[in-house]
Amino acid sequence: MTTTAKPPPAERPATTPRAKARPGDRIFSRSAQVAGILILVILAGVAAFLVREALPTFTADSSEIDGGEGFFSYVWPLVFGTLAAAVIALIVATPLALGIALFISHYAPRRLAQGLGYIVDLLAAIPSVVFGLWGIQWLAPQVQPAWSWLADNLGFIPIFTGPASATGRTMMTAGLVLAVMILPIITAIAREVFLQTPTLHEEAALALGATRWEMIRMAVIPFGRPGIISGIMLGLGRALGETMAVAMVLSTGGFTWSMVTAGNNTIAAEIALDFPESSGLKTNTLIAAGLVLFAITLAVNMFARWIVSRRSEFSGAN
């Protein structure tokens, strides 16, 4: 044993001489590494500068904060608004996005499918400010009657308490615009995983006499579930951080449960609306609010990645 194990180390230098370290190699690999480290530095910088600029908010007297009752009571209505808009967007966008993804992957004629995919991707290419403009000038007047109807007929539910805003610039409208914006994200990811479903599973289901829907329910959906969830989470992350649609569409105001009246605001929109004219402690407060938003989206995105990575461990793709 020991005698057979010995030769290789002795032999190795002879057969594979160690390559001479060339200066070009060293410079190039070093600069690539520096670029990578720079990204870490930038991210650390993002966190450090935000925390630094946010700190005065937490040390200041609570009466000096906007609203006069400290940072927490300033930020929680904004957090509520942020979550409410994102949840409305998700409720609208998720079923639609899954339907579209299924349509492109399993229902549309093969020849059309790719082109239809491009069409949905087009939605992702439209800048958010254009969605904001569209939301305020086209969508808000169109959907206003619907909100009035909700307030009149379902007003006993807290989120539909009237009177509905006459302009239609409400949380519901903002949520709808957000839904349109996250639609392509969820669709793209769901479509990818649906297309990856093993053909054998699908054919086996069909061969056993399943209808197309039964095949999808038994083969496609279970296979794609982690992908669907992570797509939804990424859409949620986008909806939480999206600024312009809310800043332009929503007629902002104080906290209210009702989603069909003017009022509420999101963190991102509050920053966009107030930051350009802010000064002193207000600037710090807004940056602290930005930090809260950063933390929320970070948590959501990490959760999404975690689901994806958990899946990749046993997927056949790698």
Q: Which of residues 55-94 bind other proteins (CB under 8 A)?
A: none
Enter the tokens of residue 288: 């602290």
If one asks whether residue 152 binds other proteins (CB under 8 A), the answer comes out as no
C-alpha–C-alpha distance, residues 189 and 2, integer Å: 55
If one asks whether residue 259 binds other proteins (CB under 8 A), the answer comes out as no
Which residue number, 77 or 117, has a Cβ lying nearer to other proteins? Answer: 117
If one asks whether residue 24 binds other proteins (CB under 8 A), the answer comes out as yes
With beta carbons less than 8 A apart as the criterion, state whether 185 and 120 touch: no
Quick one: which of 6, 11, 12, 31 contacts other proteins (CB under 8 A)?
31
Q: Per CB under 8 A, which of residues 286..305 are in contact with other proteins? A: 286-287, 290, 293-294, 297-298, 300-302, 305
Which residue number, 112 or 157, has a Cβ lying nearer to other proteins? Answer: 112
Enter the tokens of residue 77: 């209505």
Quick one: which of 14, 40, 207, 317 contacts other proteins (CB under 8 A)?
40
| Spatial CA neighbour of 206 closest among 198, 214, 196, 194 | 214
Which residue number, 55 or 257, has a Cβ lying nearer to other proteins? Answer: 55
- Tokens 């930090």 sit on residue: 291
If one asks whether residue 49 binds other proteins (CB under 8 A), the answer comes out as yes
Q: Per CB under 8 A, which of residues 213..252 are in contact with other proteins? A: 213-214, 216, 234, 237, 240-244, 247-248
Q: Per CB under 8 A, which of residues 263..282 are in contact with other proteins? A: 268, 271-272, 275-276, 279
C-alpha–C-alpha distance, residues 27 and 255, integer Å: 57
If one asks whether residue 307 binds other proteins (CB under 8 A), the answer comes out as no
Cβ burial, residue 64 (10 Å; 0-12/13-18/19+): middle
Neighbours of 21 (CB within 10 A): 8
Q: CB of residue 10 vs other proteins: minimum separation in angstroms?
A: 25
- Tokens 């030769």 sit on residue: 7
| Spatial CA neighbour of 299 closest among 237, 232, 238 | 237
